[in-house]
Structure formats: C-alpha cells, structure tokens
Amino acid sequence: MIKLETAHIEEVRGIRKLDIDFQKGTFVISGPNGSGKSGVIDAIEFALTGQIGRLTGRGTKGLSVAEHAPHVDKVKFPDASFVELRVFFPRVGKSATITRKVSSPKKVKVVPPSDDINAALAEIADHPEITLSRREILRFILVEPTKRSEEIQTILKLDDIGETRSALNAAQNRLQTVYGNGKAQVQSARSTLQLHLQIAALNDADLLEAVNRRRKVLSLPEIADLAADTKLDAGLSAPENANEFNKKSALRDLAALSDPAKGFPDLARKQADAIVADLGRLEADPALLAALQRRALIERGLELLDGPECPLCDTPWPDEHHLRHHLKAKLAKSEEAKKIQQALFGNGSAITREVVRVIGLLGPVQKLAHNQGDAPFAAILASWKDNLESLKSKLATVDGLTGLKDRLAAGWLDVPEEFLEGLKSLTEKIVAKPDQTATVDAQTFLTTAQLRFGDYREAMKKSRRQRSRGLLPRMFTTPIAACSNVS
Amino acid sequence: MSSLQQQIAEAFLAQLAASKTVDAEQIKQLRSLLSKSKKPKAEDLVAIFTRADSGNLK
C-alpha cells in the first residue's frame, strides 16, 4: 500500500490549479455535482499509472487521455496539464515526488530517482483496479443480479480474461460436437465388431477367446496377448486375397439391419418434431428469426474480432474494446433466440448420433451386396449412405436445419423405396447358400474379424485425436469457474 | 506482483498442470498463447489441444 502526502494538480479534467495535503491519511472530498471531486481521483490515478480509468471501458466511446484529460481550456496545450504527487512507499521506506504530464503520459519523473519506486509504480500500473468510479459502483448496485458478475469483472478491469473465457467457451462448443460425433463412430465400429465376434462386451479376453477358437480349427497358433500390431488372421495364407464371406456373420449383419429397419420411420421422431416446431416458431416470428440469424453472425464476428475495425461491416471504432462490448450487448438482447438455437443444436446432435449408427449398419450390408454380385442393391445402399453423410453437416447449423425442415417433417432418414425389398432379396440369397465347412467358416471368420478390428482401431485413433481436443472443455471447466469466481 | 489477469492465467495454468491430463508441451504452448498481447482465438485453442500422435492402441 502507498500513502499520499500531497498533490498538486494543474489543468487536469475540471481542475485549473489545486493543492491538497493528504497527510498520509484517509481523505474524503465532498462538494456539489460538477465541482470536480472525481477529477481529483482521475488526476491521482493519472499520476500513478498514466491512465484514467473513467476514460476507458463501457460507455466511453470516443474518449481518450490525450483529448479529455486536459482542462477544456488547455486541450490544445497538453503540456500545461500535469499532476505532481508526493507519495510515501512504506515497503521501501521512501518518499518521492512523482510528476506526469498529459502530453507524455507514459513518461514519469521520480525525484529522487529510485529503482525501487519505479518498480512500485510499474506494479501499480499493472493494477488498473486501484480506482473505482462512482459510475461503476452505481452500475453494480443497479444491475440485475444475473449480470452482477459481469459488473465485477468490469470493476476489476478483467476484460481480457472475459474475452479469453469467451474463446474457451467457443472452443468448448466446437470440440464437444466433434468429440460427440467421434464417440458415435467408435460405438458404431465397436457394435459391428462385437456383432461379428458374438461377444457381449469388447475386452481382450473375450475377443481372444472368440478368435482363438477359430484359429484352433485351422491349427494356427493361439494369440496370447493383444498388441498394437496384432493381426487376428495372422498365419492364414494370403489373407488379403482370402474370401471374406462368412455366412453366419453375413446373416447376423442382415438381421442387425433388418430388425431396427422396422423402426426407421420413427427413429428420433421426437427430436425431429421438436426441430420442426422450433423452425415453425421462427417462421411465425420474423424478429426472432432475425435475432437468431444475427446471433450466428455476431458470434462469428466476435471470434474474428482483432482490432478496432468491425470484421462484419468494416466500420472503424475508437478501439477494439468498445466494439467488443457493442457486439456483446447485441448478443445479450437475443436470449430467447439463444434458447432456440441451443434446442435446435441439441436435437440436431441427437439425430446425428442416429445417422452415424445407421451408416454403421449399412456399411457391412453394402459390402456384402457388392461381394455377392447384387450391384443394384449395393448402389442403392451406397447412395443412401452418401445422402446420410451429407445430412450430418446440415444438422449442425441453423441454415442447414432450416433447409431440412420438410425432410424432418416427412421422415429425415429418407429410406429408399427399394430398401426393404432389396434387403429381403439379399437375405434370401444368403440363406440359400450352402452352409460353410468348419474350416471355411473359421477362415472367413478370422478375415472378417481382422477387417472389423482394423476399422475399430481406426475409429479409436480418430476418436483419441478428437478426445484430446475434447479434453479441453473438461479441463477448462474449473479454470473457467475460477475466472467466474474472481470476476 | 503481476496484474490480476496474469494471476488468474497463472492459476489456470497451474490447475492444468496439476490435472496431469495435459502434457507439458501443451501447457507451454498455452502459456505462450495467453502471454501474447493478441487475444486467443478458439481456433488457436483447438490447435493446441489437437495432438498429431494418437497414442498406442492395442
């Protein structure tokens, strides 16, 4: 803590010339409105830091120390505006006279010169929260409770932290979406592998038991442990050219698709209906729709903000700080739109997870149809898969969802007309095939197992990369909360 | 003593280091990003926490 001994203020704010003897004590200044009470605080802050807090922050657009710190009669003569403080620094046990002119606010004269006092002044300059204006106190009292933390952040001059927190939240939202999709793909690949292996849970022991049982039929050595490079079909002659068709497995794949296919018309129906209802609300309320569209635009603008020029319209602002607050104020006005946006994205994500699951079921059957010479059905399934892949990206944006409204109302899965008939025909074809010998069954079982194990590993690798991103929001939860507590 | 904002950033980085779920290199990159005068963007944060390696998978 420092103690003020005296102050000499000349031509600063509303003060022409003023001497005050603080006597190192607590000092109260009183007077009618406009008499210059706050000007004294401004002058002291300026002498200590070279800044005037009241000329920065919200509601100070167009204000600056250079133009607004001098007395109104001395705006063109900033050299005449200066503050001289006699200050006692208890930590170093010294007093010094500090003089600072408005014409060169970054330059301070300390008499007698002292490195200790220069260091103390540098520390003070790092703490703009040392001054608290009446305006800030009043605003804190009057603000609605839900926005009080923002006011505290402003009072403590923690705007940079607030902006960092916004970037963290934006990253969190983006990463959660990516991570969720990755998890769904792993789940799909795992289910396909388990379906083939016929094991209830995917673990080393059960997987090796299923594989080694077939390896024993083929007199191949057992695999004792799973390693990163383990090949489940190791030892089979030319496995890359081996026949992948395993009748039992093929029938299981067909059943895995045909059983849920009965429920396809109602898949994620609740979520689709909710999206259609929300889109209907937006259509009926153009102001709400405009607010929501603006949200996306403003959110993007805040992300791109890097300087005093608006990234959305190129309008120049006095500084980036004002522009950021302007954009945030616009966002705050569209809370209802925000709720709808969150609901749309939440329901869109739920449908995306189902899309990934269906694509996972279609994959093995498409391959089976292709290998069995059923090119038309394979083509139908390939086209449907592509259709569903493109659907995923549309479910992640408001514009995409708006374009999908009719499809969501009519049945978003868009099941091809020929699907059920083609599935039935392929199933009959597979059933009619002669049962495979134990040897062929074991060979094809291992070949298919290796292929699906490879797919699962790839999905896991990809998910790990995404999880390493996905870890970000979880780890930031506490620090964000810490920032919230501070702010 | 540094500014309040720097103190918060330091506390944040210390919590990350204590969590042991972030490696030292990522914390170093994050520290560097937060110490720059330019404000961090979401893309910058995503880039830091996207690792090229994916670990060993059995």
Q: What is the pLDDT of residues A91-132, one digit of tens each?
A: 888 899 999 998 888 899 999 998 988 888 888 888 877 777
When pLDDT is cut at 50, 70 and 90, the band that residue B20 belongs to is confident
Between the alpha carbon of residue A389 and those of residues A48, A226, A359, A386, the distances in Å are: 61, 33, 8, 5
What is the structure's pLDDT at A1?
A: 78
Reported ipTM exceeds the 0.85 cut: no
pLDDT, tens digit, 9 for 90 and up, residues A363-402:
999 999 998 999 999 999 999 999 999 998 899 888 899 9
Which chain A residues are closer than 8 Å to B55 by Cβ?
464
- Measured in degrees and rounded to the nearest 5, phi and psi for residue A97 equal -100, 125
Residue A85 has pLDDT above 80, yes or no: yes
* Residue A131 identity: T
User: Which burial class, exposed, middle or buried, applies to A406 when counting CB atoms under 10 A from its CB (0-12, 13-18, 19+)?
Assistant: exposed
Q: Do B4 and A127 touch (CB under 8 A)?
A: yes
Expressed in angstroms, the distance from the first to the final Cα of chain A is: 22
Confidence of residue A466 (pLDDT cuts 50, 70, 90): low
pLDDT at residue B58, as a whole number: 42
- The β-bridge partners of A99 are A84, A109
Q: What are the CA-CA distances from residue A25 to residues A5, A6, A21, A336 (Å)?
A: 8, 11, 9, 51
Q: Which stretches of chain A sit within 8 Å of chain B by CB?
A: 123, 126-129, 156-158, 160-161, 163-164, 167-168, 170-171, 174-175, 204, 226-228, 230, 303, 306, 457, 460-462, 464-465, 468-469, 471-472, 474-475, 478-479, 482-483, 486
Handedness of CA A222, A446, B54, B22 (dihedral sign): negative
Quick check: pTM over 0.80? no
Average pLDDT score over chain A? 84
The partner residue sitting opposite A164, judged by closest CB among B2, B4, B40, is: B40
End-to-end CA gap in chain B: 48
pLDDT of residue A59: 55
Sort out which chain B residues have CB atoms less than 8 A from A319's CB and list them.
Answer: none
How confident is the model at residue B45, as a pLDDT?
84
- Alpha carbon distances (Å) from B8 to A66, A467, B17: 31, 26, 14
Residue A19 phi/psi, 5° resolution? -120, 135
At residue A392, the pLDDT reads 86
**Structure confidence by residue, pLDDT tens digits, A166-209:** 787 777 777 777 777 788 888 889 999 999 999 998 899 999 99
